[in-house]
């Protein structure tokens, strides 16, 4: 009966692909099968010496780094992230995490991760948006990888300006002292996966990583929805 009701509602308000705008069919959610194949996936989880991982060399001790897709202006991934962050499509983040988690759990060293931790938003920004898009992605990853997601360990101790249009140095200055940790016993001695939505220069990731390293994690991996190498 519930399925009949869903089918009837879909006739009146058809769900469409967030990338191409075409109608979705059964078993498709948010993105149609055709666009799923067209997503610019990085496959960084299969390439230990990838450009994202190399971004952190000499900056912070990270075991591995990967991103689901390349992020380009006016591209498919930008459309998805915009829907996730600004159009209230928070469940999209969860689905992206589930999709990517299927890849990560089969690749070393991501398969050894025990805890997923999202980059936190400041409480004022999260209150305005209603949710943390990185936490939605992290939850999906954790569910898909059958591990724990902790949102109460890494904290943002002060608000910061947007990173948009800032240089690499300005991005680091903007975030270097804004993260801390609590409930450290939940991650001490564990293999941790730090998760963000988009990584550009890696300044935010680096700042979070230093805080987590200081809390005594055994190893630290990084994953994001998108990666854009803008200097």
**Full-model pTM:** 0.86
Whether 110 and 25 share a structural domain: no
Whether 154 and 81 share a structural domain: yes
Instruction: Out of 122-126, 138-142, 151-155, give the one with best mean pLDDT.
Output: 138-142
Based on its alpha-carbon atoms, the radius of gyration of the chain, rounded to whole angstroms, reads: 18
In the block, tokens 């890494």 appear at 154
Structural domain range at position 10: 1-38
Residues contacting residue 108 through CB under 8 Å, at least 6 positions apart: none
Find out whether 55 and 200 touch, Cβ atoms under 8 Å.
Answer: no
pLDDT in tens, 14-70: 699 999 999 999 889 999 999 999 999 999 999 999 999 999 999 999 999 999 999
Whether 99 and 27 share a structural domain: no
> Which one-letter DSSP state was computed for residue 177?
T
> Which whole-number Å values give the CA distances from 202 to 32, 65, 171, 196, in the listed order?
31, 11, 9, 10
C-beta neighbour count of 108 within 10 angstroms: 11
What is the pLDDT at residue 178? 83
> Which one-letter DSSP state was computed for residue 91?
H
Residues contacting residue 79 through CB under 8 Å, at least 6 positions apart: 18, 19
Whether 29 and 130 share a structural domain: no
Whether 29 and 46 share a structural domain: no
Whether 23 and 86 share a structural domain: no
Whether 94 and 167 share a structural domain: yes
What is the pLDDT at residue 116? 98
pLDDT in tens, 83-109: 999 999 999 999 999 999 999 999 999
Whether 62 and 150 share a structural domain: yes
Q: What is the CATH number of the domain that holds 198?
A: 3.40.50.2020
């Amino acid at each position: 009966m519930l399925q009949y009701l869903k089918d009837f509602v879909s006739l009146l308000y058809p769900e469409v692909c967030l990338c191409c705008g075409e109608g979705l069919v059964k078993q498709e959610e948010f993105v149609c099968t055709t666009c799923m194949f067209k997503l610019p996936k990085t496959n960084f989880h299969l390439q230990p010496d990838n450009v994202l991982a190399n971004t952190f060399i000499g900056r912070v001790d990270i075991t591995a780094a990967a991103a689901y897709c390349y992020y380009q202006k006016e591209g498919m991934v930008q459309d998805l992230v915009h829907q996730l962050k600004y159009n209230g499509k928070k469940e999209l983040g969860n689905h992206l995490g589930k999709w990517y988690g299927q890849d990560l759990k089969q690749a070393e060293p991501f398969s050894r991760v025990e805890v997923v931790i999202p980059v936190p938003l400041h409480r004022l920004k999260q209150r305005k948006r209603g949710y943390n898009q990185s936490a939605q992605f992290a939850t999906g990853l954790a569910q898909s990888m059958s591990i724990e997601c902790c949102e109460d360990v890494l904290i943002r101790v002060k608000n910061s300006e947007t990173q948009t249009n800032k240089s690499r140095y300005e991005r680091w200055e903007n975030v270097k002292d804004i993260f801390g940790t609590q409930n450290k016993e939940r991650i001490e001695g564990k293999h941790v996966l730090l998760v963000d939505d988009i990584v550009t220069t890696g300044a935010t990731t680096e700042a979070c990583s230093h805080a987590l390293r200081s809390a005594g994690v055994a190893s630290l991996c990084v994953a994001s929805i998108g990666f854009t190498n803008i200097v």
